[in-house]
Amino acid sequence: MKSGFVTIIGKPNVGKSTLINALVGEKVAIVSPKPQTTRNKILGILNQPDYQIIFVDTPGIHNSKNKLDDFMAKDIAEAKKSVDLIVIVLDGSKRIRQEDVDFVKRYDNRNTNVILVISKIDDTTFDKLYPQLTPFNELQFIKDIIPISVYKNKNIDVLLDKIKSYIPEGEAMYDEDIYTDKSTKFLVAELIREKMLWLLHDEIPHGVAVEIIEFKQKSKICNISADIICEKPSHKQIIIGKNGSMLKEIGTRARLDIEKLIGTKVMLNLFVKVRQDWRDDSNFVQDIMS
C-alpha cells in the first residue's frame, strides 16, 4: 500500500482546515471566517484499503507577536520537516499578487514535491483566474496547480488523485479507525472555541483559550466542564452576555457538535475566567496547546 505525510500550508483564512476536513471526510479541524482559527498542528488521517495519507493542518503563517504565536510558528516549522508532499493553498477569491508569488517561492525545496491549490473559486471563472496563475507556471518546483471549491466539491477528487500519485509505498502508520492524532478532550475544547469565533467580535476570540476541567463519560451521558480563559474583565462580560445569553448560546451550539463527536448526550458547563496576558505565559501556552 501507499503511506505518507502531506503538509497543508498557507496564509491565515485561505481554507486549509476546510480542505483537510473535506479530504479526510471527518471534522478534524475547526473552521470559521476569522483568520488564525487553527492554532495547533493537527493530523487528519485518511484511511483507504490501498493507502493511508496523513494530512498535517498548520496555523496560518503570520508574524509572531507573543508566545502563542511563537508556539504556532514552531508547529509550522515542524510540519515542513520529513513530509512527502507540500500543498500550498492560496485564496482564489482574492486577486493574486506578487506577495503571493513570493510566498510560494519560499517553498522551493528540491527534495519535496509541491502542489499549488487555489481555493474558494466559487465566485470566479477560469477566464479570470488563469491569467493570474502565469507566474506560477514558470516555477519548476510546482508539480501541479489545481483550482478547487470545497463548497461545490469541485476538483477535490482531482486533488486527491494527484496527492496519491506522490505518496510513496509504505506501511500504515496509524490504525485504520483513527482519523486524527488529537484526543477527544482537545477536539471538545476546539469545538467550544469554534463557537466563540463565530459569535464574538473580532478582537476577542484570538485572546481566548479553552481548558477542559472535567470529562466524565458514563453510559448515557457525558459530563463536561470547561474554563473559557480571556485576557480582560471587559471581555469576560461580553463572553457571558446580558443575563448570560451569549455564554448560553456558545454552550448550546458547542454541545450539539460535541454530542455528534462522542455519540452520546452531553451535560456541558462553561465558566469564564480572566487571565491577563496569558498568550505571553510560556508555561500556560504549552499546557493549553498540548
The answer as to whether 85 is a domain residue is yes
Q: How confident is the model at residue 23 (pLDDT cuts 50, 70, 90)?
A: very high
Choosing from 166, 199, 225, the residue where a domain stops is 166
Separation of CA 62 from chain center = 15
User: Which domain, by its residues, includes 130?
Assistant: 2-166
The answer as to whether 213 is a domain residue is yes
- Residues 108, 211: one domain? no
Mean of pLDDT values over 76-104: 84
Please give the tally of structural domains in the chain: 2
Q: How confident is the model at residue 76 (pLDDT cuts 50, 70, 90)?
A: low
Q: How far is CA 65 from CA 100, 131, 198, 248, in A?
A: 22, 36, 23, 32
pLDDT of residue 264: 94
- Residues 38, 111: one domain? yes
Backbone phi, then psi, for 88, in 5-degree steps?
A: -100, 130
- Residues 203, 244: one domain? yes
- Residues 11, 124: one domain? yes
- Residues 145, 193: one domain? no
Mean of pLDDT values over 129-155: 93
- Residues 282, 188: one domain? yes
- Written as nine digits, the cell of 198 is 463565530
- CATH code, domain with 192: 3.30.300.20
The answer as to whether 173 is a domain residue is no
pLDDT of residue 80: 56
Are 222 and 215 within 8 A, CB to CB?
A: yes
| SS (HEC) of 197-239 | HHHCCCCCHHHCEEEEEEEEECCCEEEEEEEEEECCHHHHHHH
Nearest-angstrom CA–CA distance, 20 and 25? 8
- Residues 158, 189: one domain? no
Name beta bridge partners: 4: 53
- Residues 254, 212: one domain? yes
Q: How confident is the model at residue 62 (pLDDT cuts 50, 70, 90)?
A: very low
Backbone phi, then psi, for 151, in 5-degree steps?
A: -60, -40
- Residues 56, 155: one domain? yes
- Residues 206, 118: one domain? no
User: pLDDT by residue (tens digit) across 106-127?
Assistant: 888 778 899 999 999 988 888 8
Nearest-angstrom CA–CA distance, 9 and 287? 25
- Residues 197, 106: one domain? no
User: pLDDT by residue (tens digit) across 144-177?
Assistant: 999 999 999 999 999 999 999 999 999 998 899 9
pLDDT tops 70 at residue 67 = no
Backbone phi, then psi, for 180, in 5-degree steps?
A: -155, 160
Choosing from 112, 133, 166, the residue where a domain stops is 166
Q: Is 169 exposed, middle or buried (0-12, 13-18, 19+ CB in 10 A)?
A: exposed
pLDDT of residue 63: 56
Mean of pLDDT values over 219-240: 93
Q: How far is CA 215 from CA 187, 226, 262, in A?
A: 12, 9, 12
| pTM, to two decimals | 0.84
The answer as to whether 228 is a domain residue is yes
Q: How confident is the model at residue 48 (pLDDT cuts 50, 70, 90)?
A: very high
- Residues 72, 108: one domain? yes
